[in-house]
């Protein structure tokens, strides 16, 4: 009995360690991406982030001797998911953070469950039904997004608005992508998760590489200082690849609902990194907007009684 109790305690500690690491993974890429786009053009920065994640998975799956084949007729699955969860949101994040702060990126990213709920209510009929409480939660969350950016202010520039719009595209893409992933990957056994993941990164890296080479100048090697390299590694390996593995582990240990609750902490970590590494004090409207989003997530994710 004592041994079973000790094993249970160890499992709980491992679960919370995984959760803490996942929160960090989800919260720090906004600062890392800000550092990257300060030096590199956005498409090149995003390409290098995705390429780094791809190389990580190639090494990992090679060591695991994982089955990585994917039938041609099934390639659309990883390509669609790769577009929604990697290519589009990573690019939108890089582009948006040129003109906004990591704190804003984290706050907008905190709205992902709102978009996931809305997409799920439409695409996964019967699993996420609307109630008055959830409708209120969506409304409060959208209000929080408006308050945090203070869109009506005269001091807001066109570029900052476009940057904010790009971050909203990032959050919307993540939200829809989460639902589509369940529909065409989690509920399908046609392709192994390793093959699916690898082809997501291959597709995204190939498209981004072509775009970067076509529309942006190739960066010089001299710009790759320690800060830039570390930022690429953090965004590409820690905040993308490792985060994905931690998410899978917690899905098995905790289930989707409890794992998704970790989203609450993402904007907090983004805000803290902004404070610590950029000495930026969050504005009152950002704190109010963050509070509104917290209330929104609580109203949306609270279980509905049948």
Predicted local confidence at residue 62, as pLDDT: 94
Q: Is 306 inside a domain boundary?
A: no
Per run of 10 residues, the mean pLDDT along the chain (length 306 residues) is 72 87 92 95 97 96 90 89 94 94 89 80 63 77 76 63 92 86 66 89 97 96 95 94 87 70 83 92 87 81 59
Residue of 207, 215, 234 lying closest to 79 (CA atoms)? 207
pLDDT value for 186: 58
Residue 242: inside a domain: yes
pLDDT of residue 154: 43
Inside any domain, residue 10:
no
User: Residue 17 falls within a domain, yes or no?
Assistant: no
Domain span at residue 266?
Answer: 26-301
What phi, psi does 28 have (nearest 5°)? -90, -15
Q: Looking at the domain assignment, is residue 137 inside a domain?
A: yes
| Total number of domains constituting the chain | 1
pLDDT at 123: 72
Domain for residue 60, yes or no? yes
The 3 state secondary structure assigned to the chain is CHHHHHHHHHHHHHHHHHHHHHHHHHHCHHHHHHHHHCCCCHHHHHHHHHHHHHHHHHHHHHHHCCCCCCCHHHCHHHHHHHHHHHHHHHHHHHHHCCCCCHHHHHHHHCCHHHHHHHHHHHHCCCCCCCCHHHHHHHHHHHHHHHHHHCCCCCCCCHHHHHHHHHHHHHHHHHHHHHHHHHHHHHCCCCCCHHHHHHHHHHHHHHHHHHHHHHHCCCCCHHHCCHHHHHHHHHHHHHHHHHHHHHHHHHHHHHCHHHHHHHHHHHHHHHHHHHHHHHCCCCCHHHHHHHHHHHHHHHHHHCCCCC
pLDDT of residue 63: 94
Q: How much is the pLDDT for 247?
A: 84
Has residue 61 been placed in a domain?
Answer: yes
Q: Is residue 15 part of a domain?
A: no
Give which of 65, 165, 70, 174 is closest to 115, Cα–Cα.
Answer: 174
């Amino acid at each position: 009995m004592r041994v079973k109790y000790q094993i249970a305690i160890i499992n709980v500690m491992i679960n919370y360690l995984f959760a803490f690491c996942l929160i960090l993974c989800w919260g720090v890429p906004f600062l890392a991406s800000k550092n990257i786009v300060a030096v590199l053009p956005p498409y090149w920065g995003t390409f290098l982030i995705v390429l780094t994640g791809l190389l990580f998975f190639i090494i990992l799956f090679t060591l695991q001797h994982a089955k990585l084949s994917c039938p041609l007729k099934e390639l659309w699955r990883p390509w669609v998911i790769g577009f929604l969860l990697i290519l589009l949101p990573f690019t939108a994040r890089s582009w948006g953070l040129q003109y906004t702060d990591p704190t804003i990126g984290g706050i907008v990213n905190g709205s992902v469950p709102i978009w996931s709920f809305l997409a799920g209510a439409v695409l996964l009929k019967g699993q996420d039904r609307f109630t008055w409480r959830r409708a209120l939660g969506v409304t409060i969350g959208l209000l929080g997004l408006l308050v945090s950016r203070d869109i009506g202010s005269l001091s807001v520039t066109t570029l900052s608005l476009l940057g904010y719009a790009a971050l909203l595209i990032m959050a919307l893409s993540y939200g829809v992508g989460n639902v589509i992933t369940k529909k065409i990957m989690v509920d399908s056994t046609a392709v192994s998760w390793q093959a699916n993941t690898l082809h997501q990164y291959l597709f995204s890296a190939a498209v981004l590489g072509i775009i970067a080479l076509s529309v942006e100048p190739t960066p010089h090697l001299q710009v790759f200082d320690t800060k830039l390299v570390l930022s690429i590694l953090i965004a590409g390996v820690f905040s993308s690849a490792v985060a994905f593995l931690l998410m899978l582990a917690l899905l098995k240990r905790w289930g989707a609902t409890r794992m998704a609750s970790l989203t609450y902490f993402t904007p907090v970590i983004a805000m803290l990194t902004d404070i610590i590494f950029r000495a930026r004090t969050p504005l009152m409207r950002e704190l109010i907007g963050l509070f509104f989003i917290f209330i929104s997530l609580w109203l949306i994710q609270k279980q509905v009684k049948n």
